[in-house]
Amino acid sequence: MKFLTQISAALGLLSTSVLAHPVLDDLLQPSAPLKRAAAALTQVNSFGDNPSGAKMYIYVPSQLAENPPIIVAIHYCTGTAQAYYSGSPYAQLADQKGFIVIYPESPYSGTCWDVSSKETLTHNGGGNSNSIANMVSYTLEQYGADASKVFVTGSSSGAMMTNVMAATYPELFAAGIVYSGVPAGCFYDQAGGADTWNNSCATGQSTGSAELWGSIALNMDPGYDGPRPKMQIYHGSADTTLYPNNYNETIKQWASVFGYDYTKPDETAGNTPQSQYTTYTWGDNLIGIYAQGVGHTVPIRGSDDMTFFGL
């Protein structure tokens, strides 16, 4: 509608012969669908400081909202920006809703994300999280995007990274959605390696109190006490890559950060949002969705994501 208003206003300046143009006629029919070309996934080569060498790809829909929201969509291990662009629903939803999608790409050979080094687990620490935060800052500036509507999501390694982004850059994000990840800090490597596999965490042996997990997240950006992204955590009960214990440990982490008792959700809804899934809600900031019988990874629920993000 906004577009039509602009077109109508512009036409006030045009001659009647231009008005007869069939394409413009078409646009002036309120019921005619707007014609537009699909945009493309594009690499951005310089987005500012990139200490960890992560790559930035961006999808800017042809019909961009004014002050567009941003979704950062982070791929799984062995994935690429291109694979997550074509394999997830976000670009299509961007076409409908006018937000921008940033697809970061891991610089590592197995193309998992670094969720193990001190650098990546620290605000402005110079790791992958720092590079992704800089992609967000670049996009906010370049497109006049809405800083209050920046969201992060990912699957598997990208889900782990989503928890890490929420912990290291809480000021950047309004909400995060985690599809089959582990708590922020759970893949920590004592030897300091970047992009290493932590078997104890993956197999669900890294357990701790809610307070411990909470403090691990808080210590990634010590001293920060502003608003934090609300979180939605999906996990499958039949996950044999990142064992289901990681669901509970992640819930404990964010429950502690927000001051909820993780053992007492305010609401529990069986068979929601679909059969065999149970949704647990704590206050305004935490939702856990445990998918009975689902393995690695829980399939992305694009339109539910839009609801959680308020888009």
Ligand X SMILES: *[C@@H]1O[C@H](CO)[C@@H](O)[C@H](O)[C@H]1NC(C)=O
Confirm or reject binding of residue 203 to ligand X (CB under 6 A). no
Radius of gyration of the chain (CA): 21
Nearer to ligand X, 200 or 307 (CB): 200
Q: How many CB atoms lie within 10 A of CB 1?
A: 6
Two tokens, residue 71: 């979704």
Minimum distance, C-beta of residue 94 to ligand X, in the bound complex (Å): 35
Binds ligand X by CB under 6 A, chosen from 69, 79, 244, 288: 244
Minimum distance, C-beta of residue 261 to ligand X, in the bound complex (Å): 10
Binds ligand X by CB under 6 A, chosen from 146, 171, 189, 304: 189
Examine the residue annotation and report whether 256 is marked as an active-site residue of this protein: no
| Strand intervals (E) in 144-285 | 150-155, 175-179, 230-236, 267-269, 277-282
Q: Which of residues 255-274 bind ligand X (CB under 6 A)?
A: 263
Confirm or reject binding of residue 248 to ligand X (CB under 6 A). yes
Residues 6+ apart with CB under 8 A from 112: 77, 78, 106, 157, 195, 197
Confirm or reject binding of residue 234 to ligand X (CB under 6 A). no
Stretch that binds ligand X, among 15-23, 107-115, 223-231, 242-250 (CB under 6 A): 242-250
Confirm or reject binding of residue 152 to ligand X (CB under 6 A). no
Stretch that binds ligand X, among 44-52, 56-64, 181-189, 219-227 (CB under 6 A): 181-189
Stretch that binds ligand X, among 89-97, 172-180, 222-230, 240-248 (CB under 6 A): 240-248
Nearer to ligand X, 136 or 182 (CB): 182
Nearer to ligand X, 88 or 206 (CB): 206
Nearer to ligand X, 98 or 265 (CB): 265
Binds ligand X by CB under 6 A, chosen from 188, 213, 277, 309: 188
Residue entry with tokens 């809405």: 146
Question: Which of the following is catalytic: 52, 116, 131, 156?
Answer: 156
Confirm or reject binding of residue 177 to ligand X (CB under 6 A). no
Alpha helices in the chain (DSSP H): 2-11, 16-19, 22-28, 81-87, 90-97, 128-143, 157-168, 199-202, 210-218, 245-258, 302-309
Two tokens, residue 91: 């670009």
Nearer to ligand X, 46 or 190 (CB): 190
Minimum distance, C-beta of residue 93 to ligand X, in the bound complex (Å): 32
Minimum distance, C-beta of residue 288 to ligand X, in the bound complex (Å): 9
Q: Which among 165, 37, 185 has a CA at the least distance from the CA of 102?
A: 165
Q: Is 12 helix (H, G, I), strand (E, B) or coil?
A: coil
Confirm or reject binding of residue 186 to ligand X (CB under 6 A). yes
Helix (H) or strand (E) holding 287: strand 286-291
**Total residues interacting with ligand X, rule: CB under 6 A:** 12
Confirm or reject binding of residue 201 to ligand X (CB under 6 A). yes
Q: For every residue of 76-113, which 3-state class applies, written as one string?
A: CCCCCHHHHHHHCCHHHHHHHHCCEEEEEECCCCCCCC
Q: Which among 190, 157, 175 has a CA at the least distance from the CA of 72?
A: 175
Q: How many CB atoms lie within 10 A of CB 51?
A: 15
C-alpha distance from residue 221 to each of 7, 27, 186, 240 (Å): 47, 50, 16, 31
Q: Which residue is nearest to ligand X (CB)?
A: 206
C-alpha 105, offset from chain centre: 13
Binding site for ligand X (CB under 6 A): 186, 188-190, 198, 200-201, 206, 244-245, 248, 263
| Catalytic residue IDs | 156
